[in-house]
Amino acid sequence: MKIKSVKLREAHKGSANASFCSILWDLHAHHLVTASSSEPSISIHDPLLPSNPPRVLRHHRDGVTALALSPNSTCLASGSIDHSVKLYKFPGGEFETNITRFTLPIRALAFNKSGSMLAAAGDDEGIKLINTIDGSIARVLKGHRGPVTGLAFDPNGEYLASIDSIGTVIYWELQSGRTLYTLKGVAPDTGSDTSILNVLSWSPDGETLAVPGLKNDIVMYDRDTAEKLFTLRGDHTQHICFMSWSPNGKYIATSSLDKQILIWDVNRKQDIDRQKFDDRICCMAWKPVGNALAVIDVMGKYGVWESVVPSSMKSPTEDIPSSRSKNSNGLLFFDEEDEEDQELSMSGSLSDLGEDSHGESEPPSRKRLRKQPVIDDDQHEDVYNELSSCTKTESRKKVHRINKESSDKERDGSRSMMTYRPKMQEAFQPGSTPPLPGKRNFLCYNMLGSITTIKHDEYSHIEIDFHDTSTGPRVPPMTDHYGFTMASLNENGSVFANPCKGEKNMSTLMYRPFSSWANNSEWYMRFEGEEVKAIALGGTWVAAVTSLNFLRIYMDGGLQKHILSLNGPVVTAAGFKDELAIVTHVSDCLPSNEQMLEFRIFNISKGTQPFKGRLPLTPGSYLTWFGFTEEGQLSSYDSKGVLRVFTSQYGGNWLPLFSAIKERKSGENYWVVGLNASKLFCIVCKNPDSFPQVHPKPVLTLLNLSFPLASSDLGEEALENEFMLNNLHLSQIQKRIEVMTDEGLDTTSLDDEAFDIEAAQDRCIFRLIASCCNGDKLVRATELVKLLSVEKSVRGAIQLATALKLPILAERFNNILEERLQSKTEVLKTSLPRSNHDRNVKTDVAASMALPATERSEISEPTLSTSSAKLSAPLLIKKVKSSDRVKFGKPKTDGDQTACLEDSREVKDAGKNAGPSQVNSVKEVKNLQTQRPSNPFLKLPNNQEEKKVEEVMPESQSQGPSNPFFKSSNKVGEATGVQQSHRPSNPFLKSRAQ
């Protein structure tokens, strides 16, 4: 076998003794992260330019023993001998927070698949599960009797596997925190040498757990039963100290104390390559894109082994499995109610893990795949054990499958009976749970915090907690003598209400602000013979809906401001800043058991009702959550697991942005907490529970929003979903910009956000065009090219069609580009020659509304081609007031107008008589003649910025102010393969008057 040498370079000096070092790739293989237990620093390297000095993070006081990177590569976690776990932004490296501390050094860190949870463990033998959203400790797992050296989350999100220095492996169930299986003595005892750590790793499909064995081998264990499946034993002469699965799970790399690495073909159970090193390799990481393996030794030297897998074999990044394939195939999970089956499976698996189970054992179906001319006595014994073990496992699985199917049918039948509700849905408070005797329940649980209560004999005890304790105020516990059953919480205060009680049948509403300049700022309202059914809290108001169908609105000081009558009984209510949303019944349920619900949105400060209409629900379902996103979009979630978000598109419509039918596993329910522009925050509850308990603290799960798209013949549902989400976000931002512009507020931050989304949209469209070209969907590709916003992107599409040898398609793309260039020159021609001040403003607004933000800048300054990212098709319309142009300086003279008109005509003529490249040349000549001032994109304070505009405008009356969407990134150029230069300025940009 040909031996390839891997060149290592020094990353950490450390000490002369061996120390444990870590190495990681980021998601796109743009960075390598290294650390050493003998050095308190973390290094972030550029793998393309390894000679460049790395970015160094120095925040620990002692050696860094563990690293972990979130799945989306935006958060880096580090553990140290100094007992702390720290979080950083990635790849920038900005320090975020100290997320937790231990009493002894940290040895292992791991993120779950969604990045919402970080597991940390070390020498103190306990495992902490930390919510990365708020830094709280969700649970502490205790069961090891030695330092915990390895952690691995099951890719399917159900289990956590851990291993300690004495060779014990434990399977943990994440939902309950209990131990499922304990495998004692299955891995080597590493003793007190901290440079050698036992590790374990799940296969990418989540079916197999790899653990170092006692015979210098790797032992594979089953996901659900912890049964030994087979082993990988080769030419390692000492214990294995590290392993790493390839991204597709076809290969695994193992490092041993004998200073060599073996690459294994897992299906064939044979090593296919090896590499010998001067020092022991203590950590490895497969490159997520490509055929390479990053390694680091105990002396702090790292390198990249290229072409690990021979070119004649399948690439390690080809056919990467989905971690949810297990669920889609209908295989088994243990339910909490199947206790007898669990005990049987657990006892069986542990009894089979005898003294001989650590040898090489393989199921018969896999045995034929391996060429093994000689089998010794130990292997005969292992095969016999494996056959009997396999038989037991299959019989248990068969019994469990039958029980599972029958229990599912029973549950489905009971669920269908429960779904039939002849009466209307009762009122509920979003984020609340039913009261349980002797236990705390949630009165409110949202993205900000929670309000909990527990009932005693004569009173209740209420506590208010914030997820982010560093920003939320400290609110002392409250003794409740009213028996409050509903609450609402925001940044300013909390509101409580109770049902009718007492001799006078009175209901009470109470508001408690968190801070006030006056003493005794809380207030009460009491309703005799009228019961509060739902409450909501806004920026400066409190709302209560009562049993008389009255909507009562109070100011936060207690002033009774409005009383409105609603059309029907209330179901729920929610508030966000100035907006109040209420759901009411329109009529009785239909014979098909469909709830007839109506929603209304009120603007409290303006006294208006912007929207009103039917609330859509999945047939046969009822409303389970109602509220606003973090950006202020109204949302609803029904009992069938469909999340909808309200948008002003098409006159006001609800868009389905998530369906739990495809996401959740059998026997799971999603209890919604809130959402933002891209993620749904929920708590996973297992049957029969439909809501979370207060203790232990619930663990938030983050789910990606996605439209329920049909299966496309193109096979690019992910890109199409991204395309639709970007359109939705742009529409929402456009609406917010219009509102803020009408109110005279600064929209710079929203403009930048819109630019970023437009850039991402153009990248998405370009990838869809490439897929259409490869899939012979040329008409669809032409439709997509028309949606590109940047001229350079269209040119990139032309180059793509040419490279794929599609001349007819390239000609059509070129015609689209020429039409776009001609329309630009026509806009210039019609917008420049007006001398009247108001005419200028109206024409500029019309022109800016007619084109996306990026193309407006291309028109204004023809000399420079855009360097920003590609922009999307939805237009970002900005209103410009006539008074905004007053401060731009003296009005244009006739001479200036004539010169501008001639310039535009020359550009137009050049576009007719020459190709696009020559048009750019003409534009460059015109740019040199106008002599634009340098760096128009420099941000200045408001007063300085106005002076700058007044100085610039007389020099070039034909040009407008600079473009606030300017970005210096060259990501578009990289995505389209087109070289891009600086972004031109925008003549249609509004400037806000003092």
Three-state DSSP string of 224-277: CCCCEEEEECCCCCCCEEEEEECCCCCEEEEEECCCEEEEEECCCCEEEEEEEC
Kindly tell me if the per-residue pLDDT of 868 is higher than 90: no
Say how many C-beta atoms besides its own lie within 10 A of residue 631's C-beta: 14
Q: Give the chain's mean pLDDT.
A: 77
- Check for a shared fold between 15-306 and 439-704: yes
Residues with Cβ within 8 Å of 391's Cβ and at least 6 positions away in sequence, in order, are: none
CA atoms within 13 A on the CB side of 156: 24
The rounded distance, in Å, linking the Cα atoms of 685 and 693 is: 9
Residue 312 has pLDDT above 80, yes or no: yes
Q: Which two tokens stand for residue 549?
A: 């169908």
- Per-residue pLDDT band for 5 (boundaries 50, 70, 90) equals confident
pLDDT of 419 above 60: no
Residue 865 CA: distances (Å) to CA of 243, 513, 916? 49, 54, 12
pLDDT at 749: 87
Distance between CA atoms of 496 and 444, rounded to whole angstroms?
10
How far is CA 176 from its chain centroid? 24
Instruction: Say how far apart CA 368 and CA 281 lie, in whole Å.
Output: 33
At 519 the pLDDT is 81
- Cis amide prior to 688 (ω within 30 degrees): yes
Quick check: 327 pLDDT over 70? no
Q: Are 900 and 987 in contact (CB under 8 A)?
A: no
Q: Return the percentage of the chain with pLDDT > 90, whole number.
A: 46
Q: What angle do CA 742, 748, 751 make, to 5 degrees?
A: 90
Residue, of 361 and 240, whose pLDDT is higher: 240
Strand bridging mode 137-142 / 148-153: unpaired
pLDDT digits (tens, 9 = 90+) for 263-272: 999 999 999 9
User: Quick one: what percent of the chain has pLDDT higher than 70?
Assistant: 72
Task: Please tell me the distance from the alpha carbon of residue 256 to that of residue 237, in angstroms, as a whole number.
Answer: 8
pLDDT at 503: 67
Judged against a pLDDT cut of 80, whether residue 905 lies above it is answered with no
For 549-697, list the strands marked E by DSSP: 550-555, 560-565, 570-576, 579-585, 597-603, 608-614, 623-628, 634-638, 642-647, 653-659, 668-675, 679-686
This prediction has a pTM of: 0.49
**Mean pLDDT along residues 907-931:** 39
pLDDT digits 0-9 by tens, 63-84:
999 999 999 999 999 999 999 9
pLDDT digits (tens, 9 = 90+) for 502-519: 667 789 999 999 988 888
Do 80 and 106 meet the contact criterion of CB atoms below 8 Å apart? yes
Domain 439-704: assigned CATH number: 2.130.10
Domain ranges of the chain: 15-306, 439-704, 716-825
Mean pLDDT of 365-393: 40
Question: Which listed CATH number (2.60.40.1250, 3.40.47.10, 3.40.50.300, 2.130.10.10) goes with 15-306?
Answer: 2.130.10.10
Position 664 scores a pLDDT of 77
Is it the case that residue 387 has pLDDT exceeding 50?
no
pLDDT of 325 over the 50 cut = no
Cα–Cα distance for residue pair 293/178, rounded to 1 Å: 36
Tokens (6 digits) for 313 = 């074999």
pLDDT at 4: 62
The whole-number average pLDDT for the span 601-627 is 93
Inter-CA distances, 669 with 137, 445, 588, Å: 23, 17, 27
Q: How far apart are CA 430 and CA 671, in angstroms?
A: 10
| Mean pLDDT to the nearest integer, 105-117 | 93
pLDDT band (50, 70, 90) for residue 581: very high
Span 475-482, average pLDDT: 88
- 318-333 burial string, b = 16+ CB within 10 Å, else e? eeebebbebbeeeebb
Decide which of 560 and 905 is more confident. 560
